[in-house]
Structure 1
Amino acid sequence: MSYQPFRHDKPDPTADNGVDAFTNTRENLLALRDAAVLGVMPGWSMSTSGQAAQPDTVTYARGSERIRIAITWSGNGFPQQVALEYSNDLGENWQAIGTETITYDTADNVVETTWS
């Protein structure tokens, strides 16, 4: 049996029967588990813009889908705000996922994060 990557088109409620729907759901859940453990989703490419050490954006792409992470850096060189967006049309239009704001103490430890 070969590894089954995540398939965004499965299960198909109009075409899959009960057994196929459950099998496809199980395979997708296992692929999501693997992605969470690994910290990457197989099949997605990554590119950056801006400085290599402190990129302005990190973009993941697969087919026509894009996930973009826009990073605002603080004066001490740490991410201060991270805005996440999704596009399903090659990046022509973006939908906001959310924005995380990170707060540090005087020793540069993360002490709070908030989402908006």
Structure 2
Amino acid sequence: MDTPPKTDITAALNRVLATHKERLRSKNHWAGLAKIPATTVLDAFKGANSTIDTLTKLAEGAGLTLAELLAYGDPDWQVQVKTRNTFRSWTIDEVEGLIRALERRSGPQDAGAS
């Protein structure tokens, strides 16, 4: 059984910084937005094991959720980010409509199928 590719935190941080440069400006500025020491941010960029708390604060400083920040580290990060940005703008009614459409499309499952 193949294991899914691992999220690359360092790549995610570099991609977020590059794509959100106008807001984040620099690693030091991002540290200020995240309200964490600059050394903690620099360590994260060097690949040090960052805590979930640190990554969450970095995400919030960038105006993202932790899941959105981590999407930048996926091998297919561009698709992940585009998809998250698309669904982020949807209303709850649009999401519920999509769920209903998918449920109708899948239809009742054949009990004898394996």
TM band (smaller chain): under 0.3
Kindly indicate which of the two structures has a greater share of residues assigned to strand. Answer: 1
Q: TM-score, normalised by structure 1?
A: 0.22
TM-score for both structures, normalised by structure 2: 0.22
Asked which structure has the greater RCO (Cα within 8 Å, sep 6+), the reply is 2
| Structure richer in helix, relative to its length | 2
